[in-house]
Amino acid sequence: MHIADGILPPLWCGLGHAVSLTSIYWLGRRIDSGEVVRLGMLASASFAASLIHFPLGGTSVHLGLYGLAGVLAGRRAFPVIFAALLFQTVLFQHGGLLTLGVNAGNMGAGALLAAVLWRLPAGPDAARAFAAGFLGVLAPAVLIAIEFSLAGYGKGFFLLSALYLGAAALEGAITAAIVVFLRSARPALLAIPL
Amino acid sequence: MRDLFERLDPAARLLTVVGAAVIVVSTPRAVLSPFPAYFALCLLLILTGRASARHLFFRTLAVSPFLLLAAGLLAFEAGSLPAAASVAAKGYAAALLLAFLTGTTPLGELLAALRRLRSPASLNLILGMMHRYTDLLSEEYARLERARNSRTVRPLGKERFRVYGRQLGALLLRSWDRAERVHAAMLARGFTGEWPEPERRPAGVRDAAFPGLTCALFLAARLWL
């Protein structure tokens, strides 16, 4: 799900960086140093967790935890996602430096959608957490398909994004399990405002 | 000559690679003529640093799945082979440049370069925390995994998602508590909201000339070939 350099026009890449950096400034307003340290640790934990591969249907997939970042960090999830993607780009070459802004915009949009969904007043914890984890993966896949279509690559990626349904369901199930655990162990972590 | 690139300020190294990549990626689609010159310039650039051939090879190939997918979509859906070849060539050239940067510049120096280029303070702090704690938390998760494996006699079956979830939840709780302790310790040491920067030599002529010259050569290839 990490778009490599060379695929999108440079103007889009520049726009992606502009939107991402503006979002980091805007969503990070009035943040105190204690919260940033907690976000940094959350980013480290999410990054460490994303390195773990889970068996699924004869193959293995790794988690993104974009939805969980939205649940735990609210609107502050965006800089967490940007930082985690920068690490993935530099350490594993997942994605490119120029497309980092677009990639962060895609995944960050998934996390923000998850943040809003989780904070809806209706429904049990597990169902909202599942939806947050599920859409945290599926929304970026759909956004990438739209970007590919607009950049002249045809509609093929819409079909491919259907393949992400399995990974999105796994992500939803694990997010729900984490949230149910945190509700019993430390409910204060789940009450951070948007 | 072989460590010329490493002797540059990390911010100059980052600007060199980003500038060259922007010029390569901005080549119009289906135009293939400048690419031999781009790759020759990449090779010249690589000769100024000490990145290992193995690192460059495997890191450059790492972008293949997504890149070849995009090129394949262009070839089959839009029916344009030159456009597909151009996307693949741009992608591999940009990946080679990034691999050269990461092969010559440790992560800590790259983060220092971002700070020097005035990236947002909150982002710098999050990146600094990740740099310090990701390995530690990965080891902590590995310990949780080992403890579970040594105490689990049957396959987890359908329970496994719940078990993985609890395990990851436990990792998050530990990291949250650790963050509280770390922040208190940082405040005790006089932390004011930004990382203290070590003494660094001021950027010199070489730090401006190297990115400028590199980008000029790539631009010349882009405009005249």
Per-residue pLDDT band for B37 (boundaries 50, 70, 90) equals very high
**Between chain A and chain B, how many beta carbons pairs sit less than 8 Å apart?**
234
Biggest CA-to-CA distance, chain A: 49
User: Structure tokens of B1?
Assistant: 């000559």
- Does residue A110 lie within any of the structural domains? yes
Backbone φ and ψ for B31, nearest 5 degrees, come out as -95, 115
- In chain A, positions 98-117, which contact chain B (CB-CB < 8 Å)? 98
Instruction: Tell me which chain A residues have a C-beta less than 8 angstroms from the C-beta of B182.
Output: 37, 41
What pLDDT shows up at residue B41? 96
Decide if A77 contacts A108 (C-beta within 8 A).
Answer: yes
Tens of pLDDT, residue by residue over B113-155, are 998 888 888 888 889 888 888 888 888 888 888 888 888 777 7
The partner residue sitting opposite A79, judged by closest CB among B122, B141, B170, is B122
* Assigned token pair, A6: 């060379």
Whether A184 is in a domain gets the answer: yes
- Residue A186 included in any domain: yes
Residue A129: which of A49, A82, A189, A81 has the closest Cα? A189
What is the nearest CA distance from A121 to chain B, expressed in angstroms?
23
B25–A4 C-beta distance less than 8 A: no
Number of H helices, E strands in chain A: 8, 2
Residue A64 has pLDDT above 90, yes or no: no
Q: Which domain holds residue A76?
A: 10-190
C-alpha distances out from residue A71 to A104, A107, A130, B125, B201, Å: 17, 14, 11, 21, 43
The rounded distance, in Å, linking the Cα atoms of A3 and A84 is: 15
The residues in B 155-194 lying below 8 A from A, measured between CB atoms, are: 161-162, 164-166, 168-173, 175-176, 178-180, 182-183, 186-187, 191, 193
Query: Is residue A168 classed exposed, middle or buried when 0-12, 13-18 and 19+ CB atoms within 10 A define those classes?
Result: buried
State residue B141's pLDDT score. 83
The verdict on a CB contact (< 8 Å) between A82 and B59 is: no
A160 vs A9, A155, B52, CA distance in Å?
Answer: 21, 9, 35
We report the CATH number of the domain holding residue A158 as 1.10.1760.20
Burial of B167 (0-12, 13-18, 19+ CB in 10 A): buried
Judging contacts by C-beta atoms under 8 Å, the chain B residues touching residue A54 are: 164
- To which residue do tokens 């859906």 refer? B77
For residue A5, is it within any domain?
no
User: Of the candidates B90, B113, B91, B89, which has an alpha carbon nearest to the alpha carbon of residue B101?
Assistant: B113
Say if A86 falls within a structural domain: yes
Put simply, the answer to whether B172 touches A47 (Cβ < 8 Å) is no
- Tell me the three state secondary structure of residue B27: coil
Does residue A161 lie in a domain region? yes
Tell me how close the Cα of B1 comes to any Cα of chain A, in angstroms.
25
Q: Look up the ipTM and state it.
A: 0.88
B152 touches chain A (CB under 8 A): no
Asked whether residue A2 is domain-assigned, the answer is no
Instruction: Please report residues of A whose CB lies closer than 8 A to that of B176.
Output: 38, 41-42, 186, 189
The pLDDT tens digits for B12-30 are 999 999 999 999 999 998 7
Contact A49/B at CB under 8 A:
yes
Which of A19, A24, A37, A190 to probe the B interface (max B CBs under 10 A)?
Answer: A37
> In this complex, do B122 and A93 lie within 8 Å of one another by their Cβ atoms?
no
Q: What is the pLDDT of residue A41?
A: 80
In a domain, A3, yes or no: no
Does residue A30 carry a pLDDT above 80? no
Of A8-17, B105-114, B125-134, which range is least confident? B125-134
Shortest CA distance from A28: residue in chain B: B122
Res. B90: pLDDT tops 70: yes
User: Looking at the predicted structure, is the pLDDT value of residue B193 above 80?
Assistant: no
| Nearest CA distance, A123 vs chain B (angstrom) | 20
Q: What are phi and psi of A116, to 5 degrees?
A: -70, -45
How many structural domains comprise chain A?
A: 1
Cα gap B14→B8, rounded to integer Å: 10
